[in-house]
Structure 1
Amino acid sequence: MTFVTKLSFASGDRDVLAETVEELKADLERKGAECKGPHASPADTVRVPQYKRLRAGDEFSPWSYSIYKRSMEIHGSDDIARDVVGRDFADSIHIEVEVDRKKPLGHRRD
C-alpha cells in the first residue's frame, strides 16, 4: 500500500506562504520524493464587523483581509513526509495534514 500525504497551507501573508511552499517543494524534489503541487486556490476574503460600542448599532466600516491557500501531495516517501510534518513553519501559516492509504490496482477488498 502507498500512502499519500496531503498538505493544506493557509495564510494571510501571500509572500511568506509562497516562499515557504516553494522551499518545501525544492526540498522534496532534492530528496527524491514524488510531489504534486503546489496548487493555488482562490483567495478567500473575510470581513469582520467593528462596533463603536459594546452593543449593536453604530459600526465602523468592516475590517477585511484575504486568506491565501496552497495544497500539495506527497506520494509514498513516508519518512520524508513525516519529516515535513514535523517541521517548524512560520506562525502566520496554518497547516492541515491528511494521510490516505492507496491500494494498488487490482487489489481485492477482504
Structure 2
Amino acid sequence: MTFVTKLSFASGDRDVLTETVQELKRTLERKGAECKGPHAPPAETVRVPLYKNLRAGDEFPPWSYRVYKRTMEIHGADDAARDVVARDFPDSIHVEVEIDRKKPLGHRRE
C-alpha cells in the first residue's frame, strides 16, 4: 500500500509562505520523493467586525486581511514525508497534515 501525505499551508504573509513551500518542494525533489504541487487556490479575504461598544450597531469599519493557501501531496516516500511533518515551520504559517492510504489498482476488498 502506498501512503499519500497531503499538506495544507495557510498564512497572511504570502512571501514567507511561497518561499517556505518552494524550499520544501526542492528538498523533496532532492530526496527523490514524488511531489504534486504546490497548488495555489485564490486568496481568501477575511473580514472581522469591530464594535465600539458591546452592543451591535455602533461599529468601526471592519478589519480585513488576506489568507493565502498552498497544498501539496507527497506520494510514497514515507521517510521524506515524516521529515517534512517533523519540521519547524515559521510561526506565521498554519500547517495541516492528512495521511491517506491508497490501495493498488485491481486490489479487492476482503
TM-score category of the 2 structures, normalised to the smaller one: over 0.9
Between the aligned partners of 1:107 and 1:57, the Cα distance in structure 2 is 60
Give structure 2 stretches of 5+ with no counterpart: none
Share of identical aligned residues, percent? 83
Aligned to 2:43: 43
Q: Which residue of 2 aligns with 1:16?
A: 16
TM-score (norm 2): 0.97
User: 1:54: Cα distance to partner?
Assistant: 2.5
**CA apart distance, 1:99:** 0.5
TM-score by length of 1: 0.97
1:16 and 1:56 map into 2 onto residues whose CA distance is 37
C-alpha RMSD of matched pairs (Å):
0.7
Residue correspondences, number: 110
1:106 and 1:54 map into 2 onto residues whose CA distance is: 61
Structure 1's unaligned 5+ residue stretches are none
Give the drift of 1:50. 0.8
How much does 1:4 deviate? 0.3
Alignment partner of 1:83 is 2:86: no
